[in-house]
Structure 1
Amino acid sequence: MPIYQRKMKSSIQKSPLNQVRSPQSMKSVADIMLEQLTLWGVKRIYGVVGDAIFGLLDAISKQSAIQFIQVQHESVAAMMASAEAKLTGGLGVCTAQMGPGIANLMNGLGDAYLDHSPVLAITGQAPLNKIGTDYKQYINQQQLVKEFTRSSTLLTHPDTVVDVLVNAMKLAQIEGTVTHLSVPKDLFTKMTSVQPYKRPVMVSNDRQMYSKESLKQVIQMMRSAKKPMIIAGIGAKSAGRTVEQLTGQWGAGLLTSLGAKGMVPDTSVRMLGGIGEGGNPYASNILKQADVVLMIGTTWWPEGYVPIHTRVIQIEKHAINIGKGPQVEMGVIGQPETIIPILLDELKDYTQNPDWVRQVQEAGQSWALQNQQEGNQVGSPIPPSRIIRALEKTVSPDSIITLDEGDVTLWFYRNFRAKQQQVLISGHWRTMGFGLPAALAAKLCRPDKQVVAITGDGGLNMVLGDLLTAIQHRLKITLVVFNNKTLQMEEDKMKRSGLNRLGVDLVNPDYVALAKACGWEAYRADSHIELEETLQKALTGSQPTLVDVNTASITHPDFRK
């Protein structure tokens, strides 16, 4: 288990910001908050200005350690904080005005909360002497955010700012959750002599936590398997190489969740792709035969695609996730990258079932052939699978791809053959509008990486204002829009359910003209003939670039049943 150590020193040499002050030294609450956030590695705060956070913004303007990322809407600020946390594993921070400002944060906080991303929201509140009154925009913020946060605290005294802030940061990072701090607007400028805490040194003995003996029952169950399968998720991404090795040594088929796409190349011998809507259509028949399933870093267990009776082992970093999907016979709590090598060592003499290995490989080969054919479709408007294939051919092998929610997500999951790309998604909250904010945050965090946002027209329409954010902060991203003028997934589901079609037609702007008006480069692709060349031009440009793709309105295969 982690060991926490707090070391108090009379001085810290690394940076003037980290210097410990004498008890007589006084600074504002906002200044202390920024010092504390900096000591814990925070580099950005996403938000929209409002008078209840003027004191915080004033303090940010007087230092350089933390950058304020101004966006056009608070929901985007929270989504960007969530995306940063997902990408880096660090703490994402967003801020907002009281009243409508904090209300607008809720969508992005919901994304972070359900995807277990460490995010801290700092919001302004009514002045101390107006708490609980009918003061403008006042609402009980703790009551408002309780379904979206692990904890929410109202700061009531300058001298408690460090304790309250550290508790919020620590809880968010240890549990992978959302925490919230309300600060009355007049408290930001109050003076205090409290000192920031240096971040605790964390020493993990995870490598000593498990051994051959402690994993004896898990190893026995894996040895008993005749038809083994592995499902890997986002929590296993850091162990991609050893997961691939385990797949080969155990004679298992490998499936990944959407967020884990790219952790193992799709060309890997026993990689079957995804499972569930948008996944490999051959994979379910294989998975349903499995006698032992090893789940690594995921709770993904889509009903209707999985076996009814099987033995399940689950490896998870957080105990709370054990058994969230299927009934689990053996739960192992710890880091996959330190547990899997032990399993590999103990399965060295495991005898694979050749018939099972053949079935897995045949399913993989059948899907590879069909996937290739789907990606070769032609036409104008352009079939979605062909757009995905063009993206696959043009994006860098190590790019960061952010996906919006909707029909485009399913086509990507189905047809994109990943190499080493990192994919950011709204996993459980599944909010439309996520693709653009996530790409903006990704570029801020990884300026050296190619960042590509893939979105439908419906998702983009929700966050159009933040095209300006890319220009304001000089973020070179590529935004690819599947433009079919409909909410395709909703339309398909309505049709499949025998319901009348209503509310799915979109009136879209001229995206190329709009993007150029915002300062972007922009192109339109109307047929498959020009698509790859257009994408290549967009990806190699020096400005934020939008590609408006004239997309065929095609029902996804999973909704044709």
Structure 2
Amino acid sequence: MATCGELLVHLLAAYGVDMVFGIPGVHTVELYRGLPQTRIRHITPRHEQGAGFMADGYARVSGKPGVCFIVTGPGMTNILTAMGQAYADSVPMLVISAVNRTEQLGMGDGRLHELPSQRNVVAGVAAFSHTLLTPDQLPQVLARAFALFAGARPRPVHIEIPIDVIAMEADPKIVEKRVLPKRPAPQPADIDLAAAWLRNAKAPLVILGGGAADAAPAIRRLVAHLDAPVVNTVNAKGILPPGHPLRIGENMAFPTVHRAIAEADVVLAIGTEFGETEMYPDPQPLKFRDKLIRIDIDPEQLVRGVSAHLPILADAGQTVAALNAALGVPEKKAASTESAGAKRAAGVRAATPTHWWPAISLHQRIAKVVLDALPDAIIAGDSTEPVYALNQCYEAPAPRSYFNSSTGYGTLGYGLPAGIGAKLAKPDRPVVVLIGDGGLQFTIAELASAVEAEIPLAILLWNNDGYGEIKTYMVDRQIHPIGVDIFTPDFMTIGKGFGCETVRPDSVADLTAALQQAAQGKRPTIIEMRADAPYIEALRKS
């Protein structure tokens, strides 16, 4: 016989979990008893919010759920922000926590870490929250979580286990992975109708969201066959490779892109919720001239916001494959640079920079330096000026290679721990963290986690001595800026104290060298870009 906690770890391994993020506590130590018997690696963050952000970054890059072990009470309230970000961006995350003994639940006796109801606290940021009352329930509850990750819109799941149940003896026979459902396929009638509309379209257009990330090859063939200009939202970056002739941009509120959507006679939207954060800083209601086809795995999302003429509840990959078959798309169809659709797209691309604010061109140039130095880089971003800028123009080298917290929930402090998770998911690819001086102070302690785990990161720190984006927002609205000109510490000294490499480049050549050296090391490198540095000013004016 083994304890429930031991068998839980073995069951996680059976579902393919290879990484757990957590901070051990007196209520969760039984979850750790079985870890040495598996190949699951444990990463210790310095705060439970960091654990959640690491799991989020790991999941976005790998496509697998990020798993956290969290202590009762304050551990759970600490991770809620990270769960909120993952919930908003449809990221699979499994949070396993302890809770007080079964007979103590809801009693209010002032027990250690006691909350009136953890499940009620977590409910708003989880697909579901479940209290495990006996070890025998473990296989079914875990199967529910992994079934959701495999077959539905992925979002965080919380499972809490009373500390007496964690330590209960359990039959090892319960360690049996259940067969998981596949994502739903589209209805043939829907495919026939969608194919007919697209076949007869004179000016089709495609809008891609994060839900389309794993269908990239089939989508490239489809848009080439349709000769349809493409809007790729932030989490869809990389589905079209850099320089693709049909790409028109990201921000659906820019007048040129907005007009292109309105002028299309058939719009095919795949895995997007048309969120307002995709239209920063001035969201606009979308207008559709004629037919809108929406493909989504979430039935509620298909009727939220923009109403579709043809909602298709199905997996994006299966649906695009079915459309390709119905339309007779060749296996090696590639987009032409001389087609009518490519010329439409080129016209939009050429006009869109007239709507850019000045920071976009600057950070586009900085991003080019990054990609020239590290062509296969994954970029994990915070809510900071460089990220808001690159959301409008950056072309990622591949899907799941660019993500940040400015979408959806919009948290600060996300970039560093999410970058740690991304590097753990893809150790062979360089990872660059884009973060501001304000955001880094939210989770700066996770530098210690990265040093401890020997994780090489290039932390590209944009330092403008405060909350620059909020200050600009206040000034633009004639509000006297209060609380935004904050004390900024010496990050070079702090970074060295944590055991990181630190560098403050004086030129583009220095920046390039720092990025390349950071990718080759065994610890994080803080690369501080002062917003007022001469080489930044030169890039700004170039």
Query: Are 1:403 and 2:388 an aligned pair?
Result: no
Q: Find the counterpart in structure 2 of residue 9 from structure 1.
A: none
Alignment partner of 1:190 out of 126, 147, 168: 168
Query: Are 1:164 and 2:164 an aligned pair?
Result: no
2:62–2:426 Cα contact (<8 Å) kept: no
Could you report, residue by residue, the CA deviation over 1:188-230 in whole angstroms, capped at 9, with x for unpaired residues?
22212262343234575967x555x552221222234332211
Q: Find the counterpart in structure 1 of residue 348 from structure 2.
A: 363
Aligned AA (2:370): L
Could you report, residue by residue, the CA deviation over 1:499-558 in whole angstroms, capped at 9, with x for unpaired residues?
2211112322222222122111111124546433433333344432121111259xxxxx
Q: Find the counterpart in structure 2 of residue 53 from structure 1.
A: 28
Q: Find the counterpart in structure 2 of residue 28 from structure 1.
A: 3
Equivalence map 1:33-48=2 (5 Å): 33-48=8-23
Distance 1:436 1:249 in 2: 40
2:84–2:125 Cα contact (<8 Å) kept: yes
Distance 2:162 2:181 in 1: 36
Query: Are 1:388 and 2:370 an aligned pair?
Result: no
Q: Find the counterpart in structure 2 of residue 12 from structure 1.
A: none
Could you report, residue by residue, the CA deviation over 1:453-493 in whole angstroms, capped at 9, with x for unpaired residues?
11111211111000011111111121111111121221222
1:111 Cα deviation (Å)?
Answer: 1.5
Distance 2:132 2:251 in 1: 45
Q: Find the counterpart in structure 2 of residue 3 from structure 1.
A: none
Alignment partner of 1:148 out of 112, 125, 128: 125
Distance 1:374 1:496 in 2: 15
CA distance 1:228–1:431, shift in 2 (3 Å): same
Query: Are 1:177 and 2:155 an aligned pair?
Result: yes
> SS at 2:165's partner residue?
coil
1:138 Cα deviation (Å)?
Answer: 0.7
1:91–1:173 Cα contact (<8 Å) kept: no
Distance 1:127 1:337 in 2: 44
Aligned AA (2:471): E
> SS at 1:440's partner residue?
helix
Query: Are 1:118 and 2:92 an aligned pair?
Result: yes
Q: Find the counterpart in structure 1 of residue 50 from structure 2.
A: 76
1:105 Cα deviation (Å)?
Answer: 0.9
CA distance 1:236–1:172, shift in 2 (3 Å): closer
1:108 Cα deviation (Å)?
Answer: 0.9
Query: Are 1:434 and 2:411 an aligned pair?
Result: no
> SS at 1:262's partner residue?
coil
1:47–1:95 Cα contact (<8 Å) kept: yes
2:500–2:524 Cα contact (<8 Å) kept: yes
Deviates more, 1:249-258 or 1:163-172: 163-172
Aligned AA (1:154): T
Distance 1:313 1:501 in 2: 44
Q: Find the counterpart in structure 1 of residue 291 from structure 2.
A: 311
> SS at 1:331's partner residue?
strand
CA distance 1:500–1:84, shift in 2 (3 Å): same
> SS at 1:65's partner residue?
coil
Distance 1:72 1:408 in 2: 26
Aligned AA (2:17): V
Q: Percent identical across equivalent pairs?
A: 24
Aligned AA (2:380): T
* TM-score, normalised relative to structure 2: 0.86
Q: Find the counterpart in structure 2 of residue 138 from structure 1.
A: 114
Distance 1:340 1:180 in 2: 32
> SS at 1:362's partner residue?
helix
Alignment partner of 2:191 out of 194, 215, 227: 215
1:181 Cα deviation (Å)?
Answer: 1.7
1:150–1:177 Cα contact (<8 Å) kept: yes
1:95 Cα deviation (Å)?
Answer: 1.7
Distance 1:342 1:451 in 2: 35
Distance 1:396 1:54 in 2: 42
Could you report, residue by residue, the CA deviation over 1:282-320 in whole angstroms, capped at 9, with x for unpaired residues?
423322322321101212254416325442111223333
CA distance 1:451–1:205, shift in 2 (3 Å): closer
Aligned AA (1:248): A
Equivalence map 1:142-541=2 (5 Å): 142-175=119-152, 176-193=154-171, 195-202=173-180, 204=182, 211=188, 214-276=190-252, 282-300=256-274, 302=276, 303-304=283-284, 306-307=286-287, 309-347=289-327, 358-367=343-352, 383-397=362-376, 399-420=377-398, 422-426=401-405, 427-528=407-508, 530-541=510-521
Query: Are 1:101 and 2:69 an aligned pair?
Result: no
> SS at 1:318's partner residue?
coil
1:328 Cα deviation (Å)?
Answer: 0.7
Count of residue pairs brought into register by the alignment? 514
Q: Which stretches in structure 1 are left out of the alignment for 5+ residues?
A: 1-25, 378-382, 554-561
Distance 2:161 2:319 in 1: 42
> SS at 1:52's partner residue?
coil
1:162–1:195 Cα contact (<8 Å) kept: no
Query: Are 1:543 and 2:523 an aligned pair?
Result: yes
Distance 1:49 1:236 in 2: 36
Distance 1:348 1:120 in 2: 40
Distance 1:497 1:86 in 2: 36
1:148–1:178 Cα contact (<8 Å) kept: yes
Distance 2:93 2:359 in 1: 39
CA distance 1:337–1:127, shift in 2 (3 Å): closer
Distance 1:374 1:112 in 2: 28
Aligned AA (2:57): A
1:411 Cα deviation (Å)?
Answer: 1.4
> SS at 1:525's partner residue?
coil
Deviates more, 1:70-79 or 1:319-328: 319-328
Distance 1:365 1:236 in 2: 26
1:374–1:386 Cα contact (<8 Å) kept: no
